[in-house]
Chain A
Amino acid sequence: DSGVTQTPKHLITATGQRVTLRCSPRSGDLSVYWYQQSLDQGLQFLIHYYNGEERAKGNILERFSAQQFPDLHSELNLSSLELGDSALYFCASSTPRGGVYNEQFFGPGTRLTVL
């Protein structure tokens, strides 16, 4: 158990719909990262938040957005869903120590199926 929780575990929805994925980082971790894993693209970085502020963006579609709340949990919002958005979505958390990058701890993921 990494200490990172994600809900829901599974999500099935239809094209055109909007969903929200939730991530609670490990206690004390300030950074949250979101990754998408699809069969044809592998694990891809989407976005990074640190203590409520967006720090980096990867290959995140404009239909997707995220935020990190004051209690440090994060939500990834996916709208106007397409079949190709079906994937595993992982979040990870970490906290820098003395400015040095340290390991990311991943949650169990949310499996999104768009029908």
Chain B
Amino acid sequence: DAKTTQPTSMDCAEGRAANLPCNHSTISGNEYVYWYRQIHSQGPQYIIHGLKNNETNEMASLIITEDRKSSTLILPHATLRDTAVYYCIPIQGAQKLVFGQGTRLTINP
């Protein structure tokens, strides 16, 4: 499994864009980058995933660098309900999710 490095914590003002970086320099060519989040003690929630192209859905955008060694999750207009721990997880196939420490994102009013 590719190792990931994420900031331990980040703050963002409500209504602003939250940009969460992830370093996954050992990612292999067929590993996708998945992002999940966990709002306090709730079950983790899938956000978005990508292989090498940038992706966007109703929740977020995912920017993956051309060398695929890092990615950034963008929450375009953060709300208080986006306060959570965000996990970046490289994965191939129907495998287990390996959760690191993640980034604790706090959205401030």
Contacts and interface: CB of A to CB of B under 8 A. Distances in A.
Interface residues of B, number: 21
Nearest to B101: A42
Interface string B32-54: 10100010011111100100000
A112 B94 CA distance: 27
B94 A4 contact: no
A93 to B, nearest CB: 11
Nearest to B94: A101
B59 to A, nearest CB: 12
28 contacts: A2-B43, A31-B94, A33-B97, A42-B99, A43-B99, A44-B99, A45-B96, A45-B97, A50-B94, A55-B94, A56-B95, A56-B96, A58-B96, A92-B43, A92-B44, A92-B97, A94-B94, A101-B32, A101-B95, A103-B49, A104-B97, A105-B46, A107-B43, A108-B42, A109-B41, A109-B42, A109-B43, A111-B41
Given A2-B45, A44-B99, A92-B44, 14 more contacts: A2-B43, A31-B94, A33-B96, A42-B101, A48-B94, A58-B96, A90-B43, A90-B44, A94-B94, A96-B94, A101-B32, A104-B97, A106-B44, A111-B41
Interface of A: 2, 4, 31, 33, 35, 42-45, 48, 50, 55-56, 58, 88, 90, 92, 94, 96, 101, 103-109, 111
